Structure 1
Amino acid sequence: MYAVVTLQDSDEVMVVASNWLSTDKKQSYWPPFRSPEKCIEAVQNRVKPETGGKTWEKLNISFHKEYVSFDKAKEGQKEITEQKERSFQLATGFPGMLKRQRFESTQEMSKNPLLTTPSTSRKSADDNDDLLQMLRDIKSTVQENSAMLKKLLKDNTASEAPSSTSLPTKDIKTSLNLPLATFEDVVKTEMELSNATTRQKYVKYLSRLGGFGAKDVIKNIMQRVISDDLAMEFNWQGRGEKKAFSKLILTDVIRDAASKHSVLRVACEAEIKNYLWYTVDRIGRKRP
């Protein structure tokens, strides 16, 4: 048997083996594997939730339904995910407005073929343009409000924020070891991220930083993750005397956090490379 559940920390809809569930179905064991393929294989084979005799960590879940086969469970996962997306669209309103407008327009044309004249098509296009312009205005207002909020937060925390040349303390709000300032911090964080529960905490926290577009999202995350002085010691592939940022578990965490804002893997990696590449310029601007 297989079950479809929602991980409460990340709000992801996942398929798990039924024998991983707790008796009250409020928790589930979760494999510590980094490879998604290995996790899927563990689910399909309904392996015993332990590695080397050590029991896996448990995650808090919301149970949905059980299925007799893995394929049926995957179909159920897809349906529940789509339901959540539709609920979000209904809550925001705008996607529903666009769909309703297209539906009503199609209904009118099916009743009266004369409505398909060029003048009516232009009118429909004008209506769409007006709606799109309204959405652009709303987005612009949100961006302005977000910028003002960021400035206020920055002004209030400027005296407490660690500089790139100092050793930053632990993040007070999250108790996470960020931003990283030394290689010792990197080693310690990599060990913490081998735990699935801790990894989800990092993903959840970093995904809340937000941003507009891939560049802004990655910049906000990288600024919170690593100091500029330490970033100087890394590049993407580890060429020369520098360390490979791409090989860190932390990089997978950044990808997962960025994906919450629809940043594709390719775009995420490109922006991380750019951020590391321009570290010298950022330090130069900060120091007299």
Structure 2
Amino acid sequence: MWCVVHFTEEDSVEVVPSSWYQSGMCRWPSIKGLEKIRKMVEREELPQNGWQECKARLMGGKYYDSLKAAREKCVLAEATSDLNSDVEMGRGKRKRVLIPISSESEDEENTPLNHQKVLPDPPRFNEVDSCCRKERARSVSGGTDEQSTSETPRGKRNLTKFEEEVLRGLSFLKRTVKDVEERLKAVEECQRQLSADLKNGRVVPSTSTSRETMETLNGFPLESMEELNEMEMKLMDSSYKVALIEELSLIGGSSAKDFLVRVMKTLISDSLAGEFSWLGFKKKRPFSQLKLKEVINGAVRISKWGEESQVAIANHVQEWLKHGKFRHERKSKKDALEKQL
């Protein structure tokens, strides 16, 4: 037999075997898994040592021969204190201990019986939209937000994973737009220089651009400081500088480092490279102050390795310059051995 009991402290109701209830106390299994408890109720298992004892009262003052009838009364008991009446006379809706009627799994663990949820709460899209508007405002103004939480009408809270993904995407777009703006400024500056040179007569337009492009790399690699100084003067001509950048960008390579090594080999010899370091340390000349450095940066920017950072470019060039002296000495020894043979 079964009965409907009201757990007074929790203000909840449930169907239990009659053997579980006695003198205002109801025994309750100290196990995990609502499915297991449901089966124990259906089989009318006897209470065991170690079960919890909860304060309860018998609803309707009667026992039921069928579990189905008891469950129907349990539904009624959620709204009324008198199970013999069809009129709601209770203090209001009670909670019900959610023992499932049927289930194929026993994975409900560590969750309060009367507060278990099947699905998580859906995201609050008004709050997500608020975060997106704030991030867009920061992107336009160029400011930063030191707070890691978004503010809603309910107060401050932690960001959800969805909102964090949105903010990361906006941050990436902000960096991309900034990079595009920098490249656009460089192109506009080059156009202004070309226009100024044309107006001042320093650049003579010519239709033989293909021939000039073919002859752009004539005289490379540079072998001495005299040749380098002459090239620095020549690079003051912006049209030649642009043509050299375009020609070098076509050299190719398997990576940004390989591309820069090919460009450096094309521009200067190992013997001349040995006289330079990137910043001029160890009593060497500073390569970073040459106009040739600007040519190298420009060639990288319009190549397929245009995303390479300035720091990475400087590191690759510095590494190649550092070993210039050793490459030159090794080549000299090799040439000497070949002459002896």
TM-score, length-normalised on structure 1? 0.42
Higher helix share: 1
| Structure of higher CA gyration radius | 2
TM-score, length-normalised on structure 2? 0.36
